[in-house]
Every structure is written in structure tokens, then in C-alpha cells.
Amino acid sequence: MSISNTVRSYMEGQSVPYEVIAHKHTQSSIESAGAAHVKSHSLAKAVIVKEGEEFMMVVVPSDYHVHMGKLHQLLERDVGLATESELAQLFPDCDLGAIPPLGTAFKLITLVDRALLNRPEIYFESGDHEHLIKVTGEEFAHLLGDAETADISRYH
């Protein structure tokens, strides 16, 4: 697959240059970072949460977890993780577990963790388990659009 059509169209529409990095098949963003010889704190991963029928993307470094307590406090409500079948519906052109952290491209409200800010380069899943996309930190911030920045993660 390489890059999801949604991501390719979005990035081209934003005129953001990017590099595609191939790596061996992996099952997680942490594994992808290792396979591509990328620092895990520079690889952004997407976590999808929901409340009822409303979904939101939370973007954190691949070696961090979303701190659900901080997220609940920030949102002033409880949210849960989306199910695999919900993810398949939300991201039909992406492999399960390889969701690109570009909520705007998928028309999702997005929160991004401060731990990803001010990095010279950011890598992220392309939509499959064998390719990463590399952009500058500045370009990644541009791709995130109006994503809200927050402290919502904790290191593994």
C-alpha cells in the first residue's frame, strides 16, 4: 500500500514535501521506529478515543502512552479507546495499527502532546506496516492544522 490515499492527497494539498522510508513489516509504532532506525521519541503515533459516537485523535510520541487521567481532566469528561471495527470504518484506506497521526486529513478533532513539539524531524505511519513518512517538525505542525496542544502523555 505504501501511503494511504487520504494522507497522500492531504499532504499534496498542503504542499508539504516528505520522504517515504521503507522498513521490514512491523506490528507497532515502537517496532517501526526500530526497524527504520528512527528515534522512538521522534515517531508520532495516533491513538483514537471516543465518547459515544464522537471520535478524537490523540497524537503522542511512539514511546509514550496517552495518560487517560490527564485526558479526562483536560476534556472534562471520560473517553474510551475506539474498537478495531470502529478504526476500520474511520480509516478504510489504512491497515489496522498503522494509522497516520494526521487527524485533520481524516476530519477528526486532534490533540497533540507537547512532547512532540520542537523536534527537528517527525516520522509517522503512512497507513501500512512497512513505510514511514518523514517531515520536518515545522511541516508536521503545519499538517496538524488547528490541533490543540496539551500535556497528555506519559513515558512507557
Report the share of the chain in percent with pLDDT over 90.
Answer: 78
HEC states along the chain?
CCCCHHHHHHHHHCCCCCEEEECCCCCCHHHHHHHCCCCHHHEEEEEEEEECCEEEEEEEECCEEECHHHHHHHHCCCCEECCHHHHHHHCCCCCCCCCCCCHHHHCCEEEEEHHHCCCCEEEEECCCCCEEEEEEHHHHHHHHCCCEEECCEEEC
Which range marks the domain in which residue 144 is found?
5-155
18: domain CATH number? 3.90.960.10
How many domains in the chain? 1
* Residue 1 confidence (pLDDT) above 60: no
Q: Which of 7-21, 54-68, 81-95, 142-156 has the lowest mean pLDDT?
A: 142-156
Q: pTM value?
A: 0.94
